[in-house]
């Protein structure tokens, strides 16, 4: 058990959500009572608390994606049935949970010691909804 576990408050549908998220991430499982969801090793508690509180993009799940195929597949699955794309690799799924789908090189590109390279990548990223690795690489390498 993790010492710190995100606790997410929802207005119903937790059983449906557990099935939805575990179908998207192959390395997931549902454990315990009340049910907890483990996605890629990260435990989450999903709670049917009612309409008193809602989620916002101030909390998101950051997914380290290995390649463009993984970004594309997760993007489509998480947007299914009413999700909404946002900017810079962010989206909100149909349950109101925000996600960031990020390629492996983005952090190093944005923190490059050459401020011109970093700015080109930031400018490219700000133009995107779903992140496109080829576009980010083109901006970074200036070709």
**Bond preceding residue 115 cis, omega within 30 of 0:** no
Q: Return the CATH number at 18.
A: 3.10.180.10
Give the H/E segment covering residue 63.
strand 60-64
**Which pLDDT band holds residue 29 (cuts at 50, 70, 90)?**
very high
Integer-rounded Cα radius of gyration of the chain: 17
Name the pLDDT band for 1 (thresholds 50, 70, 90): low
Tally of domains in the chain = 2
Considering the domain architecture, whether residues 49 and 62 belong to the same structural domain is answered as no
Q: Are 53 and 92 in contact (CB under 8 A)?
A: no
Residue 95: is its pLDDT beyond 80?
A: yes
What is the average pLDDT value for the chain, to the nearest integer?
95
What is the domain range of residue 69?
Answer: 55-143
Contact 48, 134 (CB under 8 A): no
Q: Is the pLDDT of residue 80 over 70?
A: yes
Is the bond preceding residue 121 a cis peptide, omega within 30 degrees? no
Claim to verify: residue 135 and residue 75 sit in the same structural domain:
yes
Check: pTM over 0.85? Answer yes or no: yes
Instruction: Give dist(CA 76, CA 79) in Å, integer.
Output: 5
Of 135, 7, 143, 124, the residue nearest 71 (C-alpha): 135
Q: Which pLDDT belongs to residue 33?
A: 80
The pairing of strands 90-92 and 84-85 is: antiparallel
User: Are 38 and 82 in a shared domain?
Assistant: no
């Amino acid at each position: 058990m993790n010492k710190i576990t995100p606790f997410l408050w929802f207005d119903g549908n937790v059983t449906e959500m557990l099935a939805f998220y575990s179908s998207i991430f192959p390395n997931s499982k549902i454990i315990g009572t009340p049910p907890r969801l483990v996605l890629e090793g990260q435990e989450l508690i999903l709670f049917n608390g009612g309409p008193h509180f809602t989620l916002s993009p101030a909390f998101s799940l950051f997914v380290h994606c290995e390649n463009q195929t993984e970004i594309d597949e997760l993007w489509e699955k998480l947007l299914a049935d009413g999700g909404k794309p946002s900017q810079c690799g962010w989206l909100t799924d149909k349950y109101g949970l925000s996600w960031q789908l990020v390629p492996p090189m983005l952090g190093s590109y944005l923190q490059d010691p050459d401020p011109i390279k970093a700015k080109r990548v930031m400018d490219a990223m700000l133009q995107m909804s779903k992140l496109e690795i080829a576009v980010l690489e083109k901006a970074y390498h200036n070709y």
